[in-house]
């Protein structure tokens, strides 16, 4: 599918420039801040989307000089722009503090007051908690007691707090976290981030559905056979065993990324493109997902763990051989699920979701498979052997989309085959695609919560998954417990457990997509 350049010149684009902001990054010496957040802020600065009176303060336990703080992320910035980097660095400063000591927050408040006095104005404050979630209960109350996160009734200037997942480990812990947050913050101040929602293809779901009359009338059970959502990784733990072994794939990917993508694909049209209308529809969708029947869970969901395998001639270790993983761990590294949505639009349509580590390739995509025509006029052709129309939204590694249709091929009078209409963001726009964190950080500074997750949506996700987690735990600890949810296994570097292919008819193989 060729997209002409002059078409994009006629596109309708709207981007807002934020007011002056003060961005405070807790955990500034960690990988997330160095690899993602500060490079994303630099790109916003380059694009003219960081106000000239906006400043960035890094906070961490490390007692380092400001120059060493700069050095920590310089390797992730483009070397060919030294002048821009030098100007950007003038916006940055560093404050050392211990997260559980009030004195550090008082020093931070004094530093902020000095910056605001220097420019002669009060700034909006954005506090990004790029720390383990276990530290939220230390940081959030102290931000409040020091006055740093307190807003006036009007919310201007505002004080926003950004949280990274996980948002609890089950329904009870998520509700405890929510209560803790709301003792200090209003819901309008809380930005729960899911970086998948910042990806161009994921955002494009909304425009594809609601700005094109050709798709939305077909977006229902009358025309769609099934939907598949995949988030596959070829890597293993990457030194995350401390977190991952206590979480597992269901908590790490399903509760947030997978269900977030499902909600965008399946929700009803909001009245308008604004945060609360969007999140209201996501909530309705989450509440419509049919609960998973625990006593016959093997028909709808399976979990598995990778064993030793190989890929491209290289030996890959088993999960139990990874560094810092307990030798008797039952943590799942792969989950496949078959979900149904009990509403008029999606009655009877299966939604297949899978996510796993150490698979044959890295791939995140949403594949919508349409039903075949009810009748064929081409009696001479074996129409049953032809593929259905399929719309595939590629989230990563290469963002884009493709549409498979049936068309005549050159040759005999009756010669039909599948034709793929393809579009790639990278090929069309080169290296100009903004990183997901750029989009989300900009929205934080603009006060736009559209792409952020509300507390009641999180609660509904945990209501769906917590019974499964409880059944798994009981099954693993009590051998005599009757639950068809035993842990299965698959080889590292493979497509995943064979049982997943057998369970879900029409499963789309990872090798089906180029890349």
Mind telling me the catalytic residues?
257
Report how far residue 401's alpha carbon sits from residue 421's, in angstroms, rounded to the nearest whole number: 8
Per DSSP, helices labelled H in 354-503 are: 425-429, 436-446, 455-477, 498-503
**Among the listed residues 477, 507, 496, the one whose alpha carbon sits nearest the alpha carbon of residue 307:** 496
Are 440 and 451 in contact by the 8 Å Cβ rule? The answer is yes
Residue listed under structure tokens 């008797």: 328
CA distance readout (Å), 296 to 12, 301, 355, 432, 483: 49, 9, 21, 48, 8
Burial class (CB in 10 A: 0-12, 13-18, 19+), 88: buried
Report how far residue 130's alpha carbon sits from residue 132's, in angstroms, rounded to the nearest whole number: 7
DSSP 494: B
293 Cβ contact list (under 8 Å, min separation 6):
299, 300
Q: What is the largest CA-CA distance in the chain?
A: 82
Report how far residue 35's alpha carbon sits from residue 112's, in angstroms, rounded to the nearest whole number: 25
50 Cβ contact list (under 8 Å, min separation 6):
18, 21, 41, 44, 91
The answer, yes or no, to whether the previous bond of 355 is cis (omega within 30 of 0) is: no
68 Cβ contact list (under 8 Å, min separation 6):
none
What 263-269 contacts at long range (C-beta under 8 Å, 24+ apart), as own/partner pairs, is 263/457, 264/197, 264/202, 264/205, 264/206, 265/205, 265/227, 265/229, 265/366, 265/368, 266/227, 266/341, 266/345, 266/346, 266/351, 268/345, 269/209, 269/210, 269/216
Are 508 and 230 in contact by the 8 Å Cβ rule? The answer is yes
């Amino acid at each position: 599918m060729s997209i002409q350049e002059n078409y994009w010149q006629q596109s309708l684009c709207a981007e807002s420039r934020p007011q002056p902001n003060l961005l405070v990054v807790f955990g500034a010496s960690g990988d997330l801040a160095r690899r993602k957040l500060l490079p994303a802020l630099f790109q916003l600065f380059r694009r003219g989307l960081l106000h000239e009176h906006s400043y960035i303060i890094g906070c961490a336990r490390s007692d380092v000089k400001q120059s060493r703080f700069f050095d920590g992320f310089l390797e992730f910035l483009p070397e060919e722009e030294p002048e821009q980097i030098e100007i950007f660095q003038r916006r940055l400063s560093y404050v050392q503090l211990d997260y559980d000591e009030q004195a550090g927050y008082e020093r931070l408040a004094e530093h902020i007051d000095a910056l605001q006095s220097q420019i002669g104005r009060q700034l909006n404050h954005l506090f990004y908690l790029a720390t383990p979630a276990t530290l939220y209960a230390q940081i959030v109350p102290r931000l409040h007691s020091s006055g740093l996160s307190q807003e006036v009734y009007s919310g201007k200037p505002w004080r926003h707090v950004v949280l990274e997942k996980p948002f609890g480990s089950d329904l009870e812990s998520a509700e405890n976290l929510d209560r803790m947050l709301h003792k200090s913050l209003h819901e309008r101040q809380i930005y729960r981030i899911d970086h998948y929602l910042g990806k161009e293809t994921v955002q494009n779901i909304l425009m594809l559905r609601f700005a094109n009359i050709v798709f939305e009338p077909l977006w229902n059970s009358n025309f769609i056979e099934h939907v598949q959502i995949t988030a596959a990784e070829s890597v293993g733990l990457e030194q995350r065993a401390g977190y991952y072994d206590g979480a597992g794939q269901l908590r790490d990917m399903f509760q947030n990324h997978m269900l977030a993508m499902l909600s965008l694909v399946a929700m009803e049209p909001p009245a308008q493109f604004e945060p609360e209308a969007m999140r209201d529809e996501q909530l309705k969708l989450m509440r419509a997902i049919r609960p998973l029947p625990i006593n016959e869970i093997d028909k709808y969901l399976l979990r598995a763990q990778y064993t030793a395998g190989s890929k491209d001639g290289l030996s890959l270790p088993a999960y139990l051989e990874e560094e810092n993983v307990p030798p008797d761990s039952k943590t799942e590294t792969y989950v496949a699920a078959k979900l149904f949505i009990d509403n008029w639009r999606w009655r009877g349509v299966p939604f297949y979701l899978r996510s796993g580590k150490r698979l044959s390739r890295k791939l995140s995509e949403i594949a919508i498979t349409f039903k075949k025509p009810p009748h064929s006029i081409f009696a001479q052709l074996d129409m049953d052997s032809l593929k259905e129309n399929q719309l595939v939204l590629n989230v990563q590694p290469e963002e884009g989309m493709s549409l498979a249709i049936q068309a005549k091929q050159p040759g005999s009078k009756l010669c039909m085959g599948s034709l793929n209409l393809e579009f790639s963001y990278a090929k069309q726009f080169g290296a100009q695609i903004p990183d997901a964190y750029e989009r989300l950080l900009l929205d934080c500074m603009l006060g736009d919560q559209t792409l952020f997750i509300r507390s009641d949506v999180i609660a509904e996700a945990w209501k769906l998954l917590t019974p499964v987690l409880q059944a798994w735990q009981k099954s693993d600890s009590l051998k005599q417990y009757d639950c068809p949810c035993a842990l299965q296994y698959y080889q590292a570097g493979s497509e995943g457990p064979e049982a997943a292919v057998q369970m879900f008819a029409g499963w789309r193989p990872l090798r089906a997509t180029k890349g």
